[in-house]
Structure 1
Amino acid sequence: MSSTHLIGKTVLVVEDDPKIRKLISLYLENEGYEVTEAADGKDAKVKIEKFDPCILILDLMLPNISGEEICRWVREDLKSVMPIIILSAKVSEKERIRGFKLGADDYVIKPFSPGELMVRIEAVLRRTASRCGKLSFTGFTIKPVKGEAQINGEKLELTHFEFKLLHALMQHPNQILSREQILQLIYEKNEKVVSDRTIDVHIKHLREKIKEKTPKDYIQTVRGMGYKFVGV
């Protein structure tokens, strides 16, 4: 199974059983996700506000604050549309319906297959792709809705075009994009388009700004073909 197209998505796993939590995290990391963990409801609230994950894997039976309360808090207090997958040993139809009414996007019954959970995560992220534009790689985060980019916690000062260019590349990690493909990703129909060779100039400036923050070469040139963003 491959989820290359979903690399860069951040996942918060909230589960009080350390074995289950670590198992889920291991599978997610092997699929290229960036994972944060919480062992109880109180820590979950802190990490939701701090990391703004793209999807929440939420156990219902948690210490301090229940998963149901966390789900309600996310939907009602934060007014967040963050995708949520509930994990629960409660198997009745009544409990599943209750979970969906709380705002869950999927409900997975324990015990579960880690492989099936990965497929369900992919499916939920596809259905809810418009909810989370944030992309995170090791040390590199971009938030298109806010127009922010950071490397190791430091803000990257970019022009509007440089930001759009970086976003286009990061949406297709480890894939070679030609100049023409990049322009198609950046511009809407009927919008005035710059020359494809202008891309080279902007790439040069973008690289220079990135290298001021880190020695890692995130944007690579593939001679005769184009450019690619190397996220891992």
Structure 2
Amino acid sequence: MTRVLIADDDGVVRDVVRRYLERDGLEVSIAHNGAEALRLLGSQRIDVAVLDVMMPGPDGLSLCRSLRRGGDYALPVILLTALGEEDDRIAGLEAGADDYLTKPFSPRELTLRVRSVLRRSPTSSAVAPLEITAGDLTLSTASRTATVAGEPVSLTNREFDLLLFFLTHTDTVFTREDLLRQVWHWDFGDLSTVTVHVKRLRSKLGERHRIQTVWGRGYLWASGTSDAHD
């Protein structure tokens, strides 16, 4: 059964979220702080981690960064934050989070977000295996890995999904709203989510990326060998 880790120092949040997730057929592990979350991540099979940004030692943002630095890009991470400023939300996405929710939030919405990231995780993918190449960039849907000139590129699940979408829809302009619907499967949400993920893909792929910004419209992946533009 799928197991979700809820790490939050607010007992009310933990209890309400646990009830909703268990009602949806998910198993739940509870951590009261970052240290306990680390212990559970090291001792249990966790399929999704829901981390409070403001919990004590280490906080959710630091824990997310540690997971990504440690090479765990497959584990979906959802951040919970009481901070509503755009810079704070972007900081969470740049730390490698797959998603975030701002407190107060609907427990039902969190359940839907958990289901959404699970659908995009490697173990739940029902997509027929493909190997896609663009120059010396290679993407494998079977292993959900990317390489550049044979060297692995560490991508989060969302980054992988976004790159896969671009490579299978080349030379077509997509607005941020289009990408939010097609890649995240959200009908609404913060458009900066898309902006940050595009920025991270460009950074990780370096000169191999072919993501072009079409000003006033959106983004496209150019199939030709022309220089990429930020």
- The whole-number CA distance in structure 2 between the counterparts of 1:54 and 1:11 is 6
Q: CA deviation at 1:77?
A: 2.1
TM-score by length of 2: 0.52
Report the CA distance shift for 1:131/1:98 in structure 2 as closer, same or farther (over 3 A).
farther
1:58 alignment partner, one of 41, 51, 61? 51
Q: Secondary structure at the match of 2:101?
A: strand
**Which residue of the partner structure matches residue 16 of structure 1?**
9
Report the CA distance shift for 1:92/1:18 in structure 2 as closer, same or farther (over 3 A).
same
Q: CA deviation at 1:81?
A: 2.0
If asked which structure has higher relative contact order (CA below 8 Å, sep 6+), I would say: 1
TM-score by length of 1: 0.52
1:112 alignment partner, one of 71, 85, 105? 105
User: How is 1:16-165 mapped onto 2 (pairs within 5 angstroms)?
Assistant: 16-130=9-123
Report the CA distance shift for 1:68/1:105 in structure 2 as closer, same or farther (over 3 A).
same
- The whole-number CA distance in structure 2 between the counterparts of 1:86 and 1:23 is 16
Which structure has the larger Rg over C-alpha atoms? 1
Q: CA deviation at 1:76?
A: 0.6
- The whole-number CA distance in structure 1 between the counterparts of 2:107 and 2:20 is 7
Q: Secondary structure at the match of 1:53?
A: coil
Q: CA deviation at 1:102?
A: 0.5
Do the aligned residues in 1 keep the contact of 2:9 with 2:32 (CA within 8 Å)?
Answer: yes
- Give the share of equivalent positions with the same residue, in percent: 37
Q: CA deviation at 1:130?
A: 3.3
- The whole-number CA distance in structure 1 between the counterparts of 2:20 and 2:122 is 21
Q: Secondary structure at the match of 2:74?
A: coil
Residues 88-111 of structure 1: CA distance to partner in whole angstroms, max 9, x if unpaired? 011111111111111101010000
Do the aligned residues in 2 keep the contact of 1:82 with 1:131 (CA within 8 Å)?
Answer: no
Structure 1 unmatched runs, 5+: 1-7, 133-144, 146-232
AA aligned to 2:41 is: I
AA aligned to 1:33 is: L
AA aligned to 1:18 is: G
Do the aligned residues in 2 keep the contact of 1:81 with 1:131 (CA within 8 Å)?
Answer: no
> CA RMSD of the aligned region, Å?
1.8
Q: CA deviation at 1:64?
A: 2.2
Count of matched residue positions in the alignment of Structure 1 and Structure 2: 126
Q: CA deviation at 1:65?
A: 1.3
AA aligned to 1:60 is: V
